[in-house]
Structure 1
Amino acid sequence: MKDRIASSPAEILSASSQGGLGRGNLGAVVARAGVGKTACLIHIGLRRLLDGERVVHVSLKEGPDKVSAYYGLILAELVRDLPADEQKRLQTVMEKNRMILAYLNQSFDVARLRANLVNLRDHLDFSADLLMVDGLDFEHVKREDLEAFTAFAAEWGVEIWFSVLSHRHLQETNARGVPQPLDALDDYFSVILHLRPEPSGIYLGFLKDHAAPAVPELAWRLDPNTYLVLS
């Protein structure tokens, strides 16, 4: 399993200047539709879950059953070479340490998320180390929205990762190479990962790495089925 976990996109974060995102910070995975943003978020979440940390996955597009099934598929790929009893144990660890909150039909806002997390903490003794926000429409996100998330991350001492949809027909980027719609908001993010499809495969690299200069040419090729790093 160590070899397969070492091939997870989550391990790419160890190559960042600070060894990862860090508590109190915002991170983003940017890609066009269908390239694998959710898969990469789940890989990041799973790595932390299996280390015993607690993850809240916030889904704005899919119901909890579908999100849970996707976690199960990716975990099964990571642990497929392990004995059946160890696979079952790790699935139990994942399910114990993960909560899925679904906000469908535009029912999401930071105040509601905060109320739900307070409820989890006070009534279920579940305090998150990491939040994954999948499906937020950055075409309509304002700076004050990200200010609220930044304050929330600092107050709760959590990392917050977002999926961000970019578009094929919008080619313009800012000086850092960050595409629309994140180009005017990237100052709120400490780490920005970019998934890009090429004829030779799907590549994952850094567009932003804390205060260190990112090297967009440095990228890892991923298996398009498992999203594990190819050697």
Structure 2
Amino acid sequence: MLKEQLIKRSPIRVLEETLDGGLGTGQVGVLTARKGVGKTASLVHIATDKLLLGQNVLHISFADDPRHIVTWYEQVFSEMAKASKLEDALDIHEEIIRRRVILHFRQDSSFEQIKASIEQVKMGFLGEPQLIIVDGFPFERATAAQFAQWRSLAQESNVAIWFSATLHREKLDLDEHGVPAPVNKFYDLLDIIIMLKPQKDYIDFCLLKSHDDGNGRKIHIKLDPKTLLISNHRV
């Protein structure tokens, strides 16, 4: 399969269609799930799709060692290439990793420190990122004012920002919108909220908030826990 065919047939196109074009520039979205369900794998698949489209991606991690994040990208790309029998996979891999930067921060890092590092990335070889992934952000401890700084960054820089958020292992604490803690206290600051829910043989994507503030719309994609790839799920 050619790269253009892989992009066209990507399940991320299904996600974008459901979300009326996807997460746009200046917008903020979150994937939330319990630990180990597939948040990072899903975000890396979304990021890899953007890289294949020729966009720049900045991946910020508050949790994993940067080497672990690189491994996620290698594994996801390898599975994508194998599943699609991608032609010139090695050349395409070399092409896309030049447009990706991974930064690691301690959870107590200030937003000013993070923003300064982002500015350095912009002035470096990457240039302006079109997508920022923020993995392991401390939603439990963060305030609305602190999170609002990220929303301002998205709007000022015309960049889309996807976050991951870990749910409580105990009973879900849902608000009136059906959104679980800890992300529900940031409801008004988020454009898209998706929860990953494990089923018997796959992981479902449940839309809790979209651009029209509604929820309940079916997302016809799933995460395969064996390959860690998002795929179409027509049910």
Cα distance in 2, alignment partners of residues 218 and 130 from structure 1? 21
Aligned to 1:213: 214
Deviation per CA, 1:94-128: give whole Å up to 9, x if none: 21110000113x35332112111211222435211
**Residues 56 and 126, structure 2, Cα contact 8 Å, conserved in 1:** no
Query: What's the secondary structure of 1:57's corresponding residue?
Result: strand
Structure-2 residue corresponding to 1:39:
41
RMSD after superposition: 2.0
Aligned to 2:230, which of 219, 228, 231? 228
1:22-61 equivalences in 2 (<5 Å)? 22-61=24-63
- Deviation at residue 15 of structure 1 after TM alignment: 2.6
Residue 93 of structure 1, CA deviation: 2.1
Give the letter for the 1:195 counterpart: L
- 1:38-66 per-residue CA deviation (whole Å, 9 max, x = no partner) reads 00110110110110000000011112211
Matching residue within 80, 99, 103 for 1:78: 80
C-alpha deviations, 1:12-31, integer Å up to 9, x for none? 42133421010001100010
Query: Does 1:6 pair with 2:9?
Result: yes
- Counterpart of 1:202 in structure 2 is 203
Equivalent position of 1:179 in the other structure: 180
What does residue 100 of structure 1 align with? Answer: 102
Q: How far did 1:176 drift?
A: 1.9
Secondary structure of 1:117 counterpart = helix
Give the letter for the 1:140 counterpart.
R
Pair 1:111 & 2:115 matched: no
Q: 1:151 corresponds to which letter in structure 2?
A: S
| 8 Å CA contact 2:7, 2:49 repeated in 1 | no
Q: Which residue of 2 aligns with 1:156?
A: 157
**AA of the residue aligned to 2:92:** L
For residues 201 and 39 of structure 1, do their structure 2 counterparts lie closer, same or farther at Cα, with a shift above 3 Å needed?
Answer: same
Matched with 2:128 is: 127
Q: Point out 4+ residue stretches in structure 1 off by more than 6 angstroms.
A: none
Q: Within 1, Cα distance between the matches of 2:201 and 2:121?
A: 44
Would you say the 8 A contact 1:5–1:78 is kept in 2?
A: no
Q: TM-score, normalised by structure 1?
A: 0.90
Given that 2:14 and 2:220 are in contact with CA atoms closer than 8 Å, whether structure 1 keeps it comes out as: no
Q: Partner of 1:228: helix, strand, or coil? A: strand
Would you say the 8 A contact 1:60–1:108 is kept in 2? no
- Return 5+ residue gaps in structure 2 as ranges: none
Q: In structure 2, give the amino acid aligned to 1:91.
A: H
Q: Give the Cα–Cα distance (whole angstroms) in 1 for the partners of residues 195 and 212 of structure 2.
A: 17
User: Percentage identity across aligned positions?
Assistant: 29
Which whole-Å CA distance do the structure 1 matches of 2:31 and 2:61 have between them?
15
Could you tell me which residue of structure 1 aligns to residue 148 of structure 2? 147
**Partner Cα separation in structure 1 for residue 7 and residue 203 of structure 2:** 18
Q: Which runs of 5+ in 1 are unaligned?
A: none
Cα 1:117–1:191 shift into 2, 3 Å: same
Question: Displacement of 1:215 after TM fit?
Answer: 1.4
